[in-house]
Structure 1
Amino acid sequence: MGSQDVLRETTRLASSSALLQILFRVITFGLNAFTLRYVSKEIIGLVNVRLMLLYSTVVFLAREAFRRACLSGSTKRNWMKTFNLLWLTVPLGVCWSLFLGWIWLDILEVPDANAVPHYKFGVVVFGLSAVVELLGEPFWVLAQVHLFVRLKVIAESLSVISKCFLTVILVVLYPHWGLYIFSLAQLLYTSILVLSYIVYFMKFLGSPEAIKKSFPVTHMTSVLPSFEQDEAFVNWKEAKLTWSFFKQSFLKQVLTEGERYVMTFLNVLNFGDQGVYDIVNNLGSLTARFIFLPIEESFYVYFAKVLERGKDIKVQKQDDISMAAAVLESLLKLVLLIGLTIAVFGYAYSQLALDLYGGSMLSSGSGPNLLRCYSLYVLLLAVNGVTECFTFASMSKEEVDRYNFVMLALSFIFLCMSYFLTYWQGSIGFILANCFNMGIRIAHSIHYIYRYFGESPYRPLKGLLISPLLIVVYIISGVVTGVSEVFLCCDKGWIARLIHIAVGALCFTVTVATIFFTETKLIHFVRTHFLSKYTKEGLK
């Protein structure tokens, strides 16, 4: 598959993943607003912070390094050795689940059983659900490498919708069940997700379609662990790269979920405050999750396929390098403009959004300021996602190992800053610490990209520059919507709120129109590689 074909399939994967994430977040957005009316904020805080932290930590530490290592390279490989390596995620996940489950049950503070019933059951089931999800890892990597878009869409859609459906039923009928509700829903989610991949490949492998495409795997038994005499059990190159990424993934997990670790282990916020923070955090990160994360995941696959890891740019195919540089420049411009738009308009509409979503419980106190800070953090998050996406896809093993030391220092600094800033500024301190962390990581990645393309004619970092006219429009929009918030929101009545929304809509329209006229290269990239996939091809 040539670089153009890979780019076409990757953008289709990113587009469909983004739309899929939009659907998921809209559903969960409504689900959270619904459950707020039936369960306490203490239960929401415990589920969304402590139990989801247990689940995400087990899954991330057990599989992230394996995914990054096994997604690199072409589809033509010894898949038996790759599968053998991927199956190691299951026993690793069991070990992490048992170890962390012990910490969650015996080391951490146990919540009051009257306020949050069935805590032990929740810890056990969330740990079990993490292990269940790891059972589908070989199938997920196989599908991702071959860019099976529709499989990803169907599997994740079924699992999320089923989880939400069960949650709603149990919350309405048995609200006193407490953590039983969310634990059973999480287990259902991971079970359906894994079964969807297994059922698909049971039908696909060995089918006429698979034979026609010369699919490298022919039987389900080929996916299971196997051992051949006189051959290594795994591909040692992939195994060594996995170890490098594993050391990095531990640090990255601390940086990604740092505030939850601080809340969980240092008790800087009670469960109720954790619930409010998590709701605001989820609301603020909607765009990051349903747009930026699919772009990062999909284009990591693209860069990993097109670029030869660890090789000098001069000895690689120049057509591939040119295409990668153009794609990186356009991606940087795209996420920068999305992030700037969120930062500018998020400042003036944070309080209104929280008031509409959760009422005075969220819109009063530190909620609006927390969401305003998060709007700035989303901008940094957007740029960091794309720059690190390229950096990790092109780094050599030695460079990955060296970067682990940088991540170690960042992890320590971030945790210290989170702890002290939280005591100083409350929950806002978490966002400030995250902003500092993202700024340092962006600086490192930009320096790497600058050196990578230093001896070539390509300058993809120009994607971080925007036209002066657009900057002026952003400034005017921020001032106008800020003034509108002071005089029209949020205790001035519904008519004033509607006028405030109309002012924002007008400023947003002018901003988008300016982008269309000033960023023609970006518009062409989006039309060519994202929008055309739905108008011409649709989901295959």
Structure 2
Amino acid sequence: MGSEDALHSATTLASYNVLLQVLFRVLTFVLNAFTLRFVSKELLGVVNVRLALLYSTVVFLSREAFRRACLSGGSRRDWRQAVNLLWLTVPLGAVWSVLLGAVWLWLLEAPDPAAVPHYAPAVGLFALSALQELLAEPLWVLAQTHMLIRLKVVAESLSIVVKCVFTMVLIMVSPHWGLYIFSAAQLLYTGCLVLCYAVYFLQFLGSVPAKERGFPIGSLAELLPRREQGEPLIDWKLARLTWSFFKQSFLKQILTEGERYVMTFLNVLNFGDQGVYDIVNNLGSMVARFVFLPIEESFYVFFSRVLQRGGGARDQKQEDAAMAAEVLESLLKLVLLIGLIITVFGQAYSHLALDLYGGPLLSSGTGPVLLRWYSGYVLLLALNGVTECFVFAAMSKEEVDRYNLVMLALSVSFLCLSYLLTGWQGSVGFILANCLNMGLRIAHSLHYIHRYFLGSPWGPLRGLRPSPALLLCLALSAVLTRVSEAALCCDSGWLWHLAHVAVGAVCLLAVLVAVVLSETQLVLFIRTQLLSRYAKKDT
């Protein structure tokens, strides 16, 4: 597959992934708003922080390194050995499930059984759901590598819908079941996900479309681990790259879920405060999750296919390096623009958003302050996702190993900062610590990108310079919306609320007009490489 085809596939994948994440976040948004009215914030804290952390830790540590290694280089490899390597995620997941399950049961403080019953069975079920999801890992990697785009969208969308409907029905029918409801829903979600992948590949393997694509696997039996005569069981070069990514993934998980680890292991917040923080965190990160994360995942595949690991831009095929630079510049400008908009408008609309979403439970305490800080943090999340997406795809194995030391230093500093800043500023301290560490990660990535393109005719970091007209429009919008909030929101009636929203809508429209008029290259990239892909079929 050429670089142009890889770009088309990546943008198509990004577009579909954005739609998937929108659906996921909207359903989660509705589910949280619904559960806030039926269950306690203590129970939500246990589910959304304690148990969700167990699940995400087991899954991430078991598969992240394998995914990054096996996606590198695209479809050009011995897939028999790659599939054998991917099956190692299952026994690895079993080990992590047992070890971490024991920690969650016996080393961490258990919630009050009167307020949150059935904690021990819930730990076991969440660990089991993580192990169940790993059964689909070889199928997921094959689908991603060969751009079976709709499979992921349909499988995850269907699983999410089933989980949400199941949870809402049980909450209304038997709310006293508590953690059993959320545990069963999680188990149902991963089971449905695995089933969708298995059913799809059962009818796809050996079919005419599979043969036309040159799919390397002919039947489900070939997906089972086995040794080919005269060949090693696994690709040891790929295994060494996986080990490098594994060491890095452990540190990245601490950075990604750092505040949850601090809350879980250091008890800086009670379960009720953890529940409120998690709700605000999820609300604040909606755009980051359903826009930035799909872009990062999809264009990591693109950069991995176009670029050879190691070296610099001058060591690559010049047409591939030029395309990578152009795409990176457009992505940086795109996520910078989205992040700036969220930061500006988040300051004036955080209180209203929380009041509409959760009522006084969220808007009367520290919730609005948390959400305002988080809206600024989203800007850093946007830039970090794209820059690290490129850096991880371009680094050699030796550079990945060296970067592990950087991640180690960042992990230690983040945990220390979280503990200290939380003692000083409460929940806001988590966001401050995240901002500081994210800034350091961005600085490292920008330095790498600068060195990578040094001496070449391309400068993708120009994407970090928005036009003066756009900056002026954003500054005026920030002033006008804060004045509107002070005058019209948030203790007045609905008409005043609508007037405040109308002011924001007019300001946002002015910002978008400024983008269209002053950022023509970005608009062209969005129109030709992102929006046009919604109407295209799988390539």
TM-score normalised by structure 2 residue count:
0.99
CA RMSD, Structure 1 to Structure 2 (Å): 0.9
For the residues of structure 2 that align with 1:438 and 1:374, how far apart are their CA atoms?
13
1:41 correspondence with 2:45 = no
Offset at 1:312? 3.7
State the AA in 2 paired with 1:397: K
**Structure 2 counterpart of 1:281:** 281
State the AA in 1 paired with 2:409: A
**Structure 1 counterpart of 2:533:** 533
Q: Secondary structure at the residue paired with 2:309?
A: coil
For the residues of structure 1 that align with 2:230 and 2:214, how far apart are their CA atoms?
27
Offset at 1:214? 2.1
Q: Deviations over 1:184-219 (max 9, x none)?
A: 000000011111111111110101111222211111
For the residues of structure 1 that align with 2:216 and 2:112, how far apart are their CA atoms?
54
State the AA in 1 paired with 2:216: P
For the residues of structure 2 that align with 1:380 and 1:182, how far apart are their CA atoms?
32
For the residues of structure 2 that align with 1:89 and 1:176, how far apart are their CA atoms?
36
For the residues of structure 2 that align with 1:388 and 1:254, how far apart are their CA atoms?
16
Q: Secondary structure at the residue paired with 2:8?
A: helix
Q: Deviations over 1:106-130 (max 9, x none)?
A: 0000111110010001100000000
**Structure 1 counterpart of 2:430:** 430
Contact 2:74 2:301 in 1 (8 A): no
TM-score normalised by structure 1 residue count:
0.99
**Structure 1 counterpart of 2:28:** 28
Q: Deviations over 1:63-117 (max 9, x none)?
A: 0000000000131311010001100000000000100000000000011111001
State the AA in 2 paired with 1:98: V
**Structure 1 counterpart of 2:255:** 255
**Structure 1 counterpart of 2:166:** 166
> For residues 192-203 of structure 1, what are the structure 2 equivalents within 5 Å?
192-203=192-203
For the residues of structure 2 that align with 1:285 and 1:220, how far apart are their CA atoms?
38
Q: How many residues align?
A: 539
Contact 1:258 1:414 in 2 (8 A): yes
Offset at 1:231? 2.0
For the residues of structure 1 that align with 2:74 and 2:26, how far apart are their CA atoms?
35
State the AA in 2 paired with 1:356: L
Q: Percent identity?
A: 66
Contact 2:148 2:538 in 1 (8 A): no
**Structure 2 counterpart of 1:322:** 322
Offset at 1:228? 2.8
Offset at 1:314? 2.3
> For residues 391-430 of structure 1, what are the structure 2 equivalents within 5 Å?
391-430=391-430
State the AA in 1 paired with 2:252: K
User: 278-287 or 19-28: which moved more?
Assistant: 19-28
Offset at 1:538? 4.9
For the residues of structure 2 that align with 1:283 and 1:447, how far apart are their CA atoms?
32
Q: Secondary structure at the residue paired with 1:332?
A: helix
User: 174-183 or 211-220: which moved more?
Assistant: 211-220
Q: Secondary structure at the residue paired with 2:269?
A: coil
Q: Deviations over 1:301-330 (max 9, x none)?
A: 000000001144323211111000000000
Q: Secondary structure at the residue paired with 1:232?
A: coil
1:478 correspondence with 2:473 = no
State the AA in 2 paired with 1:391: V
Offset at 1:494? 1.1
**Structure 1 counterpart of 2:234:** 234
User: 213-222 or 163-172: which moved more?
Assistant: 213-222
Q: Secondary structure at the residue paired with 1:339?
A: helix
Contact 2:135 2:194 in 1 (8 A): yes
For the residues of structure 2 that align with 1:495 and 1:253, how far apart are their CA atoms?
45
State the AA in 2 paired with 1:179: L
State the AA in 2 paired with 1:167: T
State the AA in 2 paired with 1:81: Q
1:76 correspondence with 2:79 = no
Structure 1's consecutive aligned runs of 4 or more residues displaced over 3 angstroms after TM superposition are none
For the residues of structure 1 that align with 2:54 and 2:260, how far apart are their CA atoms?
10
Contact 1:76 1:216 in 2 (8 A): no
> For residues 97-496 of structure 1, what are the structure 2 equivalents within 5 Å?
97-496=97-496
For the residues of structure 2 that align with 1:210 and 1:79, how far apart are their CA atoms?
15
Contact 1:53 1:260 in 2 (8 A): yes
**Structure 1 counterpart of 2:520:** 520
Question: Gaps spanning 5+ residues in structure 1: where?
Answer: none
Q: Deviations over 1:33-69 (max 9, x none)?
A: 0011111111111000000000000000000000000
Offset at 1:539? 5.9
Contact 2:159 2:189 in 1 (8 A): yes
